[in-house]
Structure formats: structure tokens, C-alpha cells
Amino acid sequence: MGRPITPFLWLLFSVGGTVSALLFPVHLFLTGLAIPLGWIDPPRYEALIGLLRHPITRLYLFVIIAFPLVHWAHRFRYTLYDGLQIKHLTALIVVFCYGAALVGSAAAAYLLWNIP
């Protein structure tokens, strides 16, 4: 059956889980709650686009988008299997989950590469 790539997918899942556990709460709290609710003033556009142009920022954003997407794909795949008992639809589920993660990661790479 060749070399199963499950261990590799699990490694990506773990990296994505760690990255999102460490960094998502603060990003989500600031941009989704604290700024919209007016507790903190939003950063100026110039400051943000300047930050975004820096290569380290781009790499950072790619990491915190791509890995968490694979984390979701892997975890959600098993949730669908067990929660709904639809393991017979494996092929469909695998294509949907990892496919969506791949598309999202490609979109992130494209956007981050083409920053003006």
C-alpha cells in the first residue's frame, strides 16, 4: 500500500494545532472583538500595510493560515467519520477536507506574494 502519509498529515495537524492554540486567541480578540467594540483604536492603514510588506510578516501569516487549515482538515475528517458514522464516504471527505485546506493555503500564498 506504499508509504501511508497519515504520520505526515498528523505532524501538520499537530503543528497547526499548536500554532492556532498559541496565536489565534490574541488575533481573534483584538481584531474581532476589542477593535470593533471600540475598546482599542484600530491601527492606521499605513502602519498595517508597512508591516505586511515585511517578508517576516508574510511568512508568519502564511504559517498561521496554512497550518491551522490543515489542522482543521485532519480533525474535521475524523469528526465526520465518528460523529456521523459515514466512513464509507472516505474518498469524498478526504477530497473535501484536505482539498479545501490546500485551496486556502494556495490563496494565502498568492495574496502574500502579491502585496503591492
**Contact footprint for other proteins (CB under 8 A):** 3, 6-8, 10-11, 16-18, 20-33, 35-37, 40, 42-45, 47-49, 51-52, 61, 64-65, 68-69, 71-73, 75-76, 78-79, 81-85, 87, 100-101, 104, 107-108, 111-112, 114-116
Distance CA 108, CA 101 (A): 11
Task: Pick between residue 37 and residue 91 the one whose CB is nearest to other proteins.
Answer: 37
Q: Please, what is the minimum distance in Å from the beta carbon of residue 89 to other proteins?
A: 14
Contact yes or no for 107/50 (Cβ under 8 A): no
Task: Pick between residue 29 and residue 92 the one whose CB is nearest to other proteins.
Answer: 29
Distance CA 99, CA 68 (A): 14
Residue 64 CB contacts under 8 Å (≥ 6 apart), including other chains: 19, 20, 23, 24, 27
Distance CA 73, CA 65 (A): 13
Task: Pick between residue 71 and residue 93 the one whose CB is nearest to other proteins.
Answer: 71
Q: Please, what is the minimum distance in Å from the beta carbon of residue 94 to other proteins?
A: 13
